[in-house]
Amino acid sequence: MPETIEDPVYKERRAHWAYVIENEVNGPLIKGRLREGDQFCAIGVACDIYDPSQWVFNETLVLRDWTYRELRTLSPKEVEEWFGVSFGIIGEIAQMNDKGASPKAIADFIRSI
């Protein structure tokens, strides 16, 4: 798969993802995991848009944490494919998020891809 798929459907999905990050995230983007309570990182937002029913509060983990399809820090391949982005792009967004980039900067990057 190329870094991004340019089909209008994927661009529209990414635009919605950017909008949610910039306008609907409850509090700051969290770092180092997909979700903590009602707060999300940028990748967690993508997971939540794709299918919010996949979140599970896993009490068997040492840290007791939310998982998305049993993942704490990575998005499943289906989420990447649904947004038409590569694992490398997801990694860039995760790095921006964890280095403290603003929601606007992350949203602008997502809109640009």
pLDDT tens-digit series, residues 19-66 = 999 999 878 899 989 998 889 999 999 999 999 998 888 777 566 677
88-99 average pLDDT score: 96
Q: Is residue 2 part of a domain?
A: no
In Å, how far are 43, 44, 77, 91, 108 from 17, measured between CA atoms?
Answer: 9, 10, 16, 16, 11
Q: Is residue 77 part of a domain?
A: yes
Residue 41 domain boundaries? 8-112
Sequence-separated (6 or more) residues with CB below 8 Å from residue 6: 84
* Distance (Å, whole) CA 92 – CA 80: 13
Give the pLDDT confidence score for residue 6 in this predicted structure: 79
pTM: 0.88
Q: Is residue 76 part of a domain?
A: yes
Q: Is residue 69 part of a domain?
A: yes
Q: Is residue 3 part of a domain?
A: no
Q: Is residue 62 part of a domain?
A: yes
User: What percent of the chain stands above pLDDT 90?
Assistant: 62
